[in-house]
Amino acid sequence: MASLSSPLRLCRGILREIRAIKGPEYKQSLAYNYVLDQFRKNQITGERYCRAQEEALHASHSYLCLLTSTRQHIALYDMYHGKGQRDTEEMAGIVGLRLPTQPGGKGWEK
């Protein structure tokens, strides 16, 4: 079985991710309250080893991974692909060309 962080570390990690995205009002967010609630509920067990707990731990780990990776992906994506479509003049300029001018405009332009 893969070694996982403790519930406390995972909970903190997830809440930290939520805070990073949501900002100062993160405690009001839907996810924050649900996550906190779930971790509290899952503490209720008398047994040391519990299959359901192991599964919940794995799921929490996966959720933390989802939040972290999504954030990291978006950050890099924005950096490298974020410009979206550039207009044609910019595009031409990137490869050192200029758009041709047509006095009187093209036929279909107003």
The binding site for another protein (CB under 8 A) comprises 1-2, 4, 18, 21-22, 29-31, 34, 38, 41, 44-46, 50, 52, 54-55, 58-59, 61-63, 65-66, 69-70, 72-74, 76-77, 79-80, 84-85, 87-88, 108-109
Half-sphere exposure of 7 (CA within 13 A, CB side): 15
Minimum gap (Å) between residue 51 Cβ and another protein: 10
To another protein, the closest distance from the beta carbon of 43 in angstroms equals 10
Cβ-based neighbours of 42, under 8 Å, separated by 6 or more: 7, 53, 56
Using the CB atoms, write b or e for 53-85: b if 16+ within 10 Å: eeebbeebbebbeebeeeeeeeeeeeeeeeeee
Closer CB to another protein, 16 or 45, in the complex: 45
Q: Would you state the torsion angle of the CA atoms of residues 11, 45, 49, 40, taken in this order, to the nearest 10 degrees?
A: 0
Minimum distance between the CB of residue 16 and another protein, rounded to whole angstroms? 14
Min dist. Cβ of residue 101 to another protein (A):
15
Which of 8, 50 has the CB closer to another protein? 50
